[in-house]
Amino acid sequence: MPLVLTDWWNSDSTYLAGTDPYRYGNTNGKRMTGAGTKHCRTEDKPFLTGVKMSSLCVDSILANGRGQYRRLPSEKETGFEFSVLEEYLVSQTSNRVQLKTIHAGFEHPILIRPTDDRKLIINAADGRRILPREGDGIFMGVGETLNIEVDFPLEEQRLELLAEIIFEGVGKKARHYENPFVKITFVRDSAIYGSKIENRLIAAFPESEARYPSIFAADNEVEDKILLNCPAKKVGKITCVTVVDFKRDPEYESLLEKTPPSINEEPDRVIDLNMNFAVGAAINGIEFKYPEMPFFDGPNSAGITICSEKALKTGGHCTQILEVEKGELIEFRVTAAENLLNIVRRWQWTYHAIHLHGYEFVVTDIGFGRANQTTGFIEGLHPAISCKDDQIKCNRAEFDEEIFTSQRSNRDDHILKNTVLVPAMGFVTFRIRADNPGIWPFHCHQLFHNYEGMAVALFVKDRDENKPFSYLPKNMPRCHHYHPKNIAIDEEPIRQNSSSGITASTLFLFIFLIL
Which whole number is the average pLDDT over 428-441? 96
Most confident of 9-18, 47-56, 331-340: 331-340
For residue 490, pLDDT over 50 is answered with: no
For residue 235, is pLDDT > 70? yes
Share of the chain above pLDDT 90, in %: 49
Whether 137 has a pLDDT exceeding 90, the answer reads: yes
500 DSSP 8-state letter: S
- 285-313 pLDDT per residue, tens: 999 999 888 888 888 887 889 999 998 88
Q: Residue 410's pLDDT band (boundaries 50, 70, 90)?
A: confident
* More reliable by pLDDT, 181 or 441: 441
Distance CA 297, CA 285 (A): 26
Please determine, for residue 72, whether its predicted confidence score (pLDDT) is greater than 60.
Answer: no
Task: Report d(CA 412, CA 432) in Å as an integer.
Answer: 14
Q: What is the pLDDT of residue 81?
A: 67
Please give the Cα distance from 151 to 137 (Å, whole number): 14
- Pinpoint the alpha helices (H) of 130-237: none
* Identity of residue 109: P
CB 420 within 8 A of CB 354: yes
Among the residue ranges 11-15, 232-236, 321-325, 503-507, the one predicted with the least confidence is 503-507
Count other C-beta atoms under 10 Å from residue 327's C-beta: 14
Work out the average pLDDT over 308-331.
93
Q: What is the pLDDT of residue 83?
A: 78
d(CA 37, CA 35): 6
Cβ–Cβ < 8 Å for 246, 419: no
Dist CA 355 CA 49 (whole Å): 23
Tell me the pLDDT tens digit for each residue of 251-280: 887 777 788 888 989 999 999 999 998 888
Residue 219 is predicted with a pLDDT of 53
> Region 474-491: what's the mean pLDDT?
54
Q: How confident is the model at residue 334 (pLDDT cuts 50, 70, 90)?
A: very high
Q: Are 22 and 281 in contact (CB under 8 A)?
A: yes
pLDDT bucket at 470, cuts 50 / 70 / 90: confident
Which stretch of 5-14, 85-94, 379-388, 407-416 has the lowest confidence by average pLDDT? 5-14
177 vs 95, residue with greater confidence: 95
Q: Which of 49-58, 213-222, 306-315 has the lowest mean pLDDT?
A: 213-222
Q: What local confidence, expressed as pLDDT, does residue 497 receive?
A: 40
Residue 110 banded pLDDT, cuts 50, 70, 90: very high
Considering 260-264, 298-302, 384-388, 424-428, the range whose residues carry the highest mean pLDDT is 424-428
Q: How far apart are the first and last CA of the chain?
A: 29
Lowest mean pLDDT among 54-68, 211-225, 501-515: 501-515
pLDDT band at 483, cuts 50/70/90? very low
Residue 154's pLDDT is what? 93
pLDDT value, residue 181: 85
pLDDT at res. 245: 96
Supply the pLDDT for residue 206: 58
Per residue in 164-219, pLDDT (tens digit) is 888 776 544 444 446 788 889 999 999 998 888 999 998 876 555 556 667 766 55
Q: pLDDT at position 491, please?
A: 45
Q: Taking all residues of the chain, what is their mean pLDDT, rounded to a whole number?
A: 82
Lowest mean pLDDT among 8-17, 18-27, 233-242, 247-256: 18-27
pLDDT at position 1 is 93
Q: Give the pLDDT confidence score for residue 49 in this predicted structure.
A: 87
CA pair distance 282, 273, nearest whole angstrom: 10
> Where are the strands (E) in 15-95, listed by range?
26-27, 30-31, 47-48, 51-52, 60-63, 83-90
Task: Report pLDDT digits (tens) over 150-166.
Answer: 999 999 999 999 998 88
Q: Which residues fall within 8 angstroms of residue 127, CB to CB, at 6 or more apart? A: 145
Residue 383 confidence (pLDDT):
95
Higher confidence at residue 16 or residue 385?
385
pLDDT reading at 29 higher than 50: no
Q: Return the C-alpha torsion angle 341, 345, 350, 355, nearest 10.
A: -90
- Higher per-residue pLDDT: 287 or 77: 287
Per-residue model confidence (pLDDT) at position 509: 37
pLDDT at 11 over 70: yes
Report pLDDT for 28. 44
